[in-house]
Structure 1
Amino acid sequence: MKTPTLQAAALGTAAVLALALLPGLPAAWFAVRDASLAGRVLAAETSVGLLSPAGQTVEVACQLWLARDDLFNGYNPRTATAAELDEFAAAFDTFCQAGVLPDAFAAPLRQAVTAALPEDLEISPRDRGLVTWTLHFPDSDAFVQMEWVGDTAVSLAGQYNAGATLDTAAAADALCALLGLDTLADWQTLAATPAHGTLHTRYSADGQLYLHATFQEGYFSVGVSSVPEDDLTGLA
């Protein structure tokens, strides 16, 4: 299970490599893939706009930097397996245990996730390493979505009438700690004036990371993405 523990496994906008989800790939393919990723890391460290020394020590920051500007190449989701649904449920539980969602908010969602079937979960890979996992609840507009980069879930979002509100600043704190991003010392809270609901945003120039948490009438989103400092205008 790829659960989101510190800089290791399991908040847009997140994901396993697209081909790594396919069964039966030979070991040689993974060797080539690993060499390619190593080359991309080297390129990132020698290019203009590279991460700061502090940012380069944070695995999630490096992974998101490499996957920056990863766009959908069409919409080609596939249905998850039973094992992948178990991974999704375990990752969701880890988010909740870390405090990204409070107990009052998470309890009804956890029940719905536990009752889900594999055909309710869609997995949508992109070109450069981001993968979106979306769990749809039958006969409703409710859903829960995670975005992964590498083996790390970096965002959690959804629409569900949980009968509770979300403390967005506390959710952002919890995600930051869960992903090991609190080792970056330069986080700054950004001024956010949403037209509706509540929004908390912060930015780390060292990691080139934009972290957000938002809540409005049952919709929630907590996640982190790689954003150049010059592109911050309009995000908060």
Structure 2
Amino acid sequence: MKFLEYTPLARINAFLSHVDVGGCMIQGGLEAYSCKIAGVDKKLSRSLEQEVVDSLAYSPLDLSTSPVGPLSNTASRRTLIYLILTLNHMYPDYDFSMLRPHHFTKEHGLLAAKQKIDVSLVEASKFWSAEAAEETTLMDSIWNAIDEVMSLEDCEVYSYSPDAEGDPFADTGSIWSFNYFFYNKKQKRILYFSSRCISKLSMDTASSDDGSGEWDSDFVDGMDLEG
């Protein structure tokens, strides 16, 4: 999958990489990818698709009503594969290939997802207003940037709520987190937007344990499906 470089997203990412809001730290990022799969991704996508097809024989009713659509449908299987590959690229130290449709949720419209994200980032928004030296709010900047690269009105929105074993940040004292995917089938693009609020106390404890005071805020390149 091909990472799509976009300046407004990079500016927002720079801000969200480290927002000190008092007793906790808010971190997040947005990355967009063109859905063309090649190389290792292509091999994994074929393996995943075969596993899903094989599973249809065991639970056809459950899989026919999955969050990504009926898995007897090629387009639905492809959507699931895009979601999994995106996570693999974002967090290369973790393997998400065992995820299945029930690990994801299809949001009930764009507005619902926007409201949840806006509420989560309300504290960060205050600091953006103080630091950005412009009239555009953080949330307006985020949604304008996403719309420009993704055409929001054409996007399906999915969320991922990891369990303890599948969460890259399960041991960092996360107070809240969200993981959203904006998928535009027409443009063959997907954008991943993740953020979390981390207790400073847990960060201090982790730093003293490993001897490092630095926080890893890397957001990795990623995703694509061709052929």
Calculate the TM-score normalised by the size of structure 2.
0.31
| Greater radius of gyration (CA) | 2
Q: Which has the higher contact order (CA 8 A, sep 6+)?
A: 2
1 or 2, which has the higher helix percentage? 2
